[in-house]
C-alpha cells in the first residue's frame, strides 16, 4: 500500500443562514468529492453547519510571516482610519 | 400468522439488519485506512445501531410483553435473528466491506422509502429518520465503488472480485415471504418486486460508472430471514453478547 498522503483540503463551514463561512480545520482527501464527504463526517457531526466549502490547501495564497512587519505594521499608527473622530449629529439613528 | 404478529416479526427483522450490520462495522473501528474514513465508518455504524435501538423499542411496544431493546439484542439466540446473510459477512478487505455496504444500502433506501408511506404505527417515523442517514451512506459508498473500480488495475480487479463474491447474497433481499407479504398487504408496506427493479437500476448505473461488470445470474444463498445463518454468525453474536450473557442486567 502506498504511503503517500492524500492532498490536504481546508474546510469552511457556515453554521447558519446569514453568517459567513468560517475556517473549521482541514482534511485529507484523494479528490474533491471525498474532501466534501470527509469534511462533513469530521466537522459537522454535532450539527455545526448547514453549508460546507472545501478548498485545496495548495490553492490558498497566504501572506508571508516574514513580511508581517511590512504588511501590517504601517496600519497601526493610522488612527485616523478608525471612524472615531466624527461627531454623530443629533437625530441620525443609523449611520 | 395474523397481521400484528407479522408486523412484529417484520420490525424485528429490520432491527436485526441494522444491528448486525452496525456490529460488523464496529469491528473495524480503529482500523480505518485514513483518519477521515475511520470517522465516517464509525458514524455510519452508530447510525445503524441507533436505528436498531428505535426499531427494537418499537417491536417491544408492539409485542407488549415488556421486552427491551437490550433483551432483543443480547438475549436472543442465533436462530432467533432474522437479518439478511449479506450483512453478517465478515469485513474482509476495504473493498469487500464497501461492496457489502453498497449493495445493501442501494436496497435499504428504497425499502425505507416505501416504509415512510406505510400505515404501521411508529414505523413510518423511524423510516423517515433513517432514510436521511442511509442516503448519505449510499452516496459515500457509491463514490468509493466508482473510485476503486475506475481506479488502478489492482483496485479494479480486487473490487470486481468483491462484487462477484457478494452477489450471491443479494437475491434474498427480494424474496417476499409470509411476513413481507402480510406487511405489504395489511400495512401498505414496501413491494419487494418494485424495490428489486429500482435496486437493479441503481446498482447497474453505479457499477457501470465504476467500469465494473455486473455479475451474471447465479444461485442465490438464502436462510437469513428464517434464522439460518452462515458459519460466521455465531462468532459475531458471541462477541456482541458476551457482556450481557456473563453479567445479565449489568448497566453502567
Q: Indicate the fold that domain A8-63 takes in CATH.
A: Ubiquitin-like (UB roll) (3.10.20)
pLDDT surpasses 70 at B223? yes
Biggest CA-to-CA distance, chain B:
56
Mean pLDDT, rounded, for B190-205: 98
Q: What is the pLDDT of residues B110-152, one digit of tens each?
A: 999 999 999 998 999 999 999 999 999 999 999 999 999 999 9
d(Cα B221, Cα B170) in Å, to the nearest integer?
8
Instruction: Out of A4-13, A67-76, B2-11, B217-226, pick the least confident.
Output: A67-76
Task: Please choose, from the candidates B131, B107, B121, B132, the residue with its C-alpha nearest in 3D space to the C-alpha of residue B194.
Answer: B107
Per the rule left: phi > 0, alpha: psi between -120 and 50, beta: everything else, B10 is alpha
Domain residue ranges of chain B, discontinuous segments joined by +: 3-214+229-246
Asked whether the beta carbons of residue A28 and residue B147 sit closer than 8 angstroms, the reply is no
User: Where residue A3 falls among pLDDT bands split at 50, 70, 90?
Assistant: low
Beta-ladder partners of A13 = A22, A52
Q: What is the pLDDT of residues B32-89, one digit of tens each?
A: 888 899 999 999 999 999 999 999 999 999 999 999 999 999 999 999 999 999 999 9
d(Cα B15, Cα B56) in Å, to the nearest integer?
6
Task: Please choose, from the candidates B23, B8, B3, the residue with its C-alpha nearest in 3D space to the C-alpha of residue B67.
Answer: B8
- Chain A residue closest in CA terms to B138: A37
Q: Which of A28, A31, A45 sits opposite B34 (nearest CB)?
A: A28
Q: Indicate the fold that domain B3-214+229-246 takes in CATH.
A: Ferritin (1.20.1260)
d(Cα A43, Cα A46) in Å, to the nearest integer?
8
Mean pLDDT, rounded, for B92-106: 97
User: Where residue A82 falls among pLDDT bands split at 50, 70, 90?
Assistant: confident
Domain residue ranges of chain A, discontinuous segments joined by +: 8-63
ipTM of the complex model: 0.79
Kindly list the distances between the CA atom of residue A13 and the CA atoms of A22, A42, B68, B232, B238, in Å, as whole numbers in the listed order: 5, 12, 40, 43, 42
Q: What is the pLDDT of residues B161-189, one digit of tens each?
A: 999 999 999 999 999 999 999 999 999 99
**Residues of B whose CB is below 8 A from A10:** none
pLDDT in the model for residue B107: 98
Tell me the CB-side half-sphere exposure of residue B5, using CA atoms within 13 A.
3
Q: Which three cell numbers stand for residue B165?
A: 463474491
pLDDT in the model for residue B59: 97
pLDDT in the model for residue A95: 66
pLDDT in the model for residue B202: 98
Asked whether the beta carbons of residue A41 and residue B147 sit closer than 8 angstroms, the reply is no
Asked whether the beta carbons of residue B147 and residue A29 sit closer than 8 angstroms, the reply is no
**Residues of A whose CB is below 8 A from B136:** 40
Asked whether the beta carbons of residue A34 and residue B39 sit closer than 8 angstroms, the reply is no
**Residues of B whose CB is below 8 A from A42:** 35-36, 39
Tell me the CB-side half-sphere exposure of residue A14, using CA atoms within 13 A.
10
Q: What is the pLDDT of residues A26-42, one digit of tens each?
A: 999 999 999 999 999 99
Where do the H-state alpha helices sit in chain B? 3-27, 35-63, 69-74, 85-88, 94-115, 123-149, 153-166, 178-186, 192-209, 233-246
pLDDT in the model for residue A77: 85
Amino acid at each position: 500500500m502506498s504511503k503517500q498522503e492524500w492532498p490536504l483540503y481546508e474546510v469552511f463551514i457556515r453554521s447558519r443562514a446569514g453568517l459567513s463561512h468560517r475556517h473549521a480545520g482541514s482534511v485529507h482527501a484523494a479528490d474533491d468529492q471525498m474532501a466534501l464527504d470527509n469534511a462533513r463526517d469530521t466537522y459537522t457531526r454535532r450539527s455545526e453547519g448547514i453549508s460546507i466549502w472545501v478548498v485545496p490547501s495548495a490553492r490558498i495564497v497566504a501572506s508571508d510571516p516574514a513580511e508581517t512587519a511590512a504588511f501590517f505594521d504601517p496600519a497601526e499608527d493610522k488612527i485616523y482610519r478608525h471612524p472615531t473622530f466624527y461627531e454623530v449629529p443629533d437625530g441620525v439613528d443609523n449611520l | 400468522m395474523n397481521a400484528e404478529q407479522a408486523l412484529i416479526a417484520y420490525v424485528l427483522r429490520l432491527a436485526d439488519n441494522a444491528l448486525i450490520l452496525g456490529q460488523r462495522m464496529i469491528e473495524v473501528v480503529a482500523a480505518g485506512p485514513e483518519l477521515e474514513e475511520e470517522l465516517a465508518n464509525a458514524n455510519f455504524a452508530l447510525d445503524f445501531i441507533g436505528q436498531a435501538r428505535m426499531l427494537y423499542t418499537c417491536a417491544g411496544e408492539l409485542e407488549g410483553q415488556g421486552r427491551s431493546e437490550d433483551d432483543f439484542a443480547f438475549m436472543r439466540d442465533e436462530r432467533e435473528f432474522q437479518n439478511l446473510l449479506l450483512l453478517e459477512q465478515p469485513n474482509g478487505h476495504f473493498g469487500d466491506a464497501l461492496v457489502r455496504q453498497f449493495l445493501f444500502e442501494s436496497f435499504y433506501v428504497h425499502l425505507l422509502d416505501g416504509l415512510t408511506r406505510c400505515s404501521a404505527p411508529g414505523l413510518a417515523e423511524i423510516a423517515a429518520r433513517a432514510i436521511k442517514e442511509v442516503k448519505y451512506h449510499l452516496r459515500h459508498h457509491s463514490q468509493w465503488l466508482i473510485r476503486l473500480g475506475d481506479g488502478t488495475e489492482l483496485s479494479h480487479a480486487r473490487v470486481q472480485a468483491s462484487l462477484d463474491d457478494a452477489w450471491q447474497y443479494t437475491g434474498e433481499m427480494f424474496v417476499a415471504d409470509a411476513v413481507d407479504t402480510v406487511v405489504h398487504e395489511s400495512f401498505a408496506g414496501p413491494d419487494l418486486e418494485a424495490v428489486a427493479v429500482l435496486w437493479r437500476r441503481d446498482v447497474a448505473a453505479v457499477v457501470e460508472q465504476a467500469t465494473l461488470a455486473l455479475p451474471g445470474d447465479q444461485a442465490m444463498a438464502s436462510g437469513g430471514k428464517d434464522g439460518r445463518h452462515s458459519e460466521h454468525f455465531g462468532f459475531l453474536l458471541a462477541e456482541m453478547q458476551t457482556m450481557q450473557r456473563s453479567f445479565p442486567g449489568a448497566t453502567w
